[in-house]
Structure 1
Amino acid sequence: MDRITTHRNWGLHVAVGATLALVAVLAVLGWSPWPTRWPAFAMLAVLALAYAGFGWRGYEDRRAATAFVPLLVVAALVLPATVPSTAFVQCILFPVAWCQIERVRTSLLVSLAIGVAAGVGLQIASGPSALVSTVLIEGVSIAGACALGLWITRIARLSDERRQLIEELRATQDSLAEAHRRAGVTSERERLARELHDTVAQNLAGIVMLTERARGDLAADRVDRLDERLTILEESARAALEESRTLVAAGSAGIAGDGLGAALHRLGERFARETGVPVSVDAPDCALDRDTQVVLLRTGQEALANVRAHADAASVHVRLQVAAEQVSLRISDDGVGFDSAVPTAGHGLRGLRERLALAGGTCTITSSPGRGTVVAVALPTTPDPATQRSAAPLSGANR
């Protein structure tokens, strides 16, 4: 039984109890042509006990309704025949009959039977002189009860149909959501497999071929080619590493649901644990575009990787600042520094400049021997969607 039906039934229970109590008062105070009123009281007692015993189940149980509905017709006859004013009981007999009978035609027949029984009871109590008024009263009662019953039944059926449609719609929406989720998972797997095949797998295949050639040169004692082979092999390995880091950064970037600030704190803690170099991180929680978070976290990874490999630093400081239109990340160390005037092939920290420029950001590297290194990255808080993919490959070899 649903919530709406439960509330409706409780309303009917209260209405039945209140109506029977009021009819009992009318049976005591109302006019009666008979010297005794015990049939009315007996009928009220039987009706109340029957409703409390099994009649209340008739709204859901067809067998209980079959046993209780005939009592409604009997009550409509006995009560007005004993005390005419108790014909008021019809105001609850009609609704109970309509709610407990499933078929509309049967409800119409039972309503007619209740009205006729009440009219007969009034005639028994009032005599032939009240025939016209009795016919008019019961005719209006039957017509009103049938019209109201048909109207409410129509509303109830429309409500049930709409409820069923809503349930079907919700089920369809859940099914579509699950289908979209599965399609998204499948599409992501296909994309990842395609990118692995097109990038990392091809680079690894090239490394295998270069290794085989180097082994052949070594076997043939062509050592003059080994340096060139190893150089190409190193570049291919760097490219494979860059592509794999790019895929990891684009997929998760180590950014969990707690955001970039927490990811930077975890990065600093891991670096300090692995190297013994203390890292202080000043990175508040902030709401940023995911691609922007990926770019900033990759910058932090590259800068700390540089510190690990070359800086010989005693401490590192990481600071994240978020303004209305720009977010900046600054990584500074007190290591040995390097000569920023020496050109490179675009790997590592220096390679970030070109890639961040494609994303609409800037990368400033300040370093000199003996003074440490400062890496400062600035990005707009809402990057242009056309440049987001260009900013993804931020990995590579360190300086």
Structure 2
Amino acid sequence: MTQWQQPGDRLTLHQIRRWNTGVWILLGVLPTAVAVLDAPPGRKYWLLGLLALIALCHTVVLTRPRNPVLHPRAYLGVLALVLGAASYLLDGGAAFYIVSLPQFWLFTRAPRDAITLSGAAALFTVFGGTLGQGWSPQFLTGNAVFTVVAYAAGVGLGLWMHRFIGQSNERQEQLTAELAVTQEELAAAHQRQGAAEERERLAREIHDTLAQGFASIVVLAEAARSAADTHPARCAQQLTSIEQTARENFAEARVLVGSAPESGVAPGSLATTLRRTLDRFVQDTGLTVTAELPDLELDQRTRVALLRCTQESLANVRKHSGAGTVGVVLAGFPGGVELEITDDGRGFVVEESHGFGLDGMRRRMAELDGELSVTSSLGDGTRVLATLPVQPQDGS
């Protein structure tokens, strides 16, 4: 199969064959038929019959190329004989040969077959014209020369086209192979990126839930141990908090391993969940908390993000700030919602803080096209402001 007969190019080759058929009929068959109309009846009917035969064979090969009776090579052999006969009956058939020459390249599988069959057709054309006119100088300078020149030009052009198309197909195959490799590499990169993003998400979730819960359990356990002998009631309260925190951690662990539906924030109002979180914080730390928490109807992702932001901020207050008072304000505005958490603790230099918690909050906000602003300085407390672009509806 030639390079231009690859399965992906069959439609294009078929279109070229159809276009060539129209040219062949218009410039080859019809002019030859018209030219023989004034010939003696014997020659006229013979040539018209041969033209009808070769036109029928051409139609069969064009419409049924896999026909077992008339193979394309057999058709080209018949065409060569008809060209020789037409040259004999018309005393020369160079024009018909030239118009028919592309078929020897369009209906063959290899350049060698095209060269051989078109050469045989050229030989028959010259020989038929010689029989019709004899070895006259006019013939030798006319139809025979044009036939030989057309054959040589056809071989040169055909080989060049075959080489050009072969190189194009090789380049196409190379590009296809490179594309396949690139797609595989891209898929692998996406897979690695997805795995990295999933690891980062799990690390953030573990830090914001399990790690904070375990840290609370450690602090509460230390306080309960200290109060075991002197303040039994306080110790019992702290043990209750430890139990509750452990249960919450267990529930969060089930979410992380996929054995429970996503939890953390009950459907509906975020304010209820935040109040419960703040009550636990007051119970565990004894700090004073002021809160403004209107009921806002928000989507699940927004509620989870704001809850995690609150939990991380409260954990930082408990571990680092030394504050006595914490303020939490939730507010909705057209096109968004914001959560502000402030404390009157010792503060810190924001530029020098590179903790996982703050970075995790920033990334969580960025995933929802939101922003996290942290303002603090030594001795002046800390202000955390989370803003998300949502469309909340005020609840009643």
Contact 1:362 1:378 in 2 (8 A): yes
Q: 8 Å contact 1:26–1:85 — kept in the other structure?
A: no
Of residues 31, 34, 37, the one that matches 1:26 is 31
In the alignment, which of 140, 143, 154 is matched to residue 145 of structure 1? Answer: 154
User: In 2, distance between residues paired with 1:61 and 1:377?
Assistant: 82
Matches within 5 A, 1:172-191: 172-191=181-200
Q: CA deviation at 1:193?
A: 4.9
Q: What is the one-letter code of the residue matched to 1:183? A: R
Question: Residue 171 of structure 1 corresponds to which residue in structure 2?
Answer: 180
Residues 84-112 of structure 1, C-alpha deviation per residue, up to 9 Å, x if partnerless?
46542223432111122222222211121
Q: Distance in 2 between matches of 1:61 and 1:205?
A: 82
Alignment correspondent of 1:91: 98
Residues 146-189 of structure 1: per-residue CA shift (max 9 Å, x gap): 00110110111112112211221221122112111221233234
Q: 1:117 aligns with which of 110, 121, 124?
A: 124
Partner Cα distance (2:26, 2:93) in 1:
11
- Normalization by structure 1: what TM-score? 0.57
Cα distance in 2 for partners of 1:272, 1:189 equals 26
Query: What is the distance in 1 between the residues matched to 2:200 and 2:297?
Result: 38
CA 1:84 to 1:19, structure 2 compared with 1: closer, same or farther past 3 Å? farther
Residue identity opposite 1:113 in structure 2: A
Q: Offset at 1:20? A: 2.3
Aligned Cα root-mean-square deviation (Å): 5.6
Name the structure 2 match of 1:17.
22
In the alignment, the residues of structure 2 paired with residue 180 and residue 62 of structure 1 have an alpha-carbon distance, to the nearest angstrom, of: 55
Kindly report which structure 2 residues correspond to 1:55-70, keeping only aligned pairs within 5 A, or say none: 55-58=62-65, 64-70=71-77
Number of the residue aligned with 1:298 = 306
Q: Note if 1:156 corresponds to 2:156.
A: no
Q: Does 1:5 align with 2:7?
A: no
Once residues 79 and 101 of structure 2 are traced to their aligned partners in structure 1, the CA distance between those partners, rounded to angstroms, is 9
Q: How many residues align?
A: 311
2:109 to 102, 109, 119: 102
Give the partner amino acid of 2:269: F
C-alpha distance in 2, partners of 1:206/1:273?
Answer: 24
The 1:61/1:206 distance shift into structure 2, 3 A limit, reads farther
Q: Aligned residues: percent identity?
A: 12
Give the stretch that moved more between structures: 158-167 or 10-19. 10-19
- Whole-angstrom CA distance in 2 between matches of 1:199 and 1:378: 16
Deviations 1:68-127 (A, max 9, x none): 221121122122222246542223432111122222222211121111111112222322
- CA contact under 8 A between 2:104 and 2:118: conserved in structure 1? yes
Which residue of structure 1 aligns with residue 290 of structure 2?
none
Match of 2:284 in 1: none
The C-alpha deviation readout for 1:43-70, integer Å capped at 9, x for no partner, is 2111111122234544999983233221
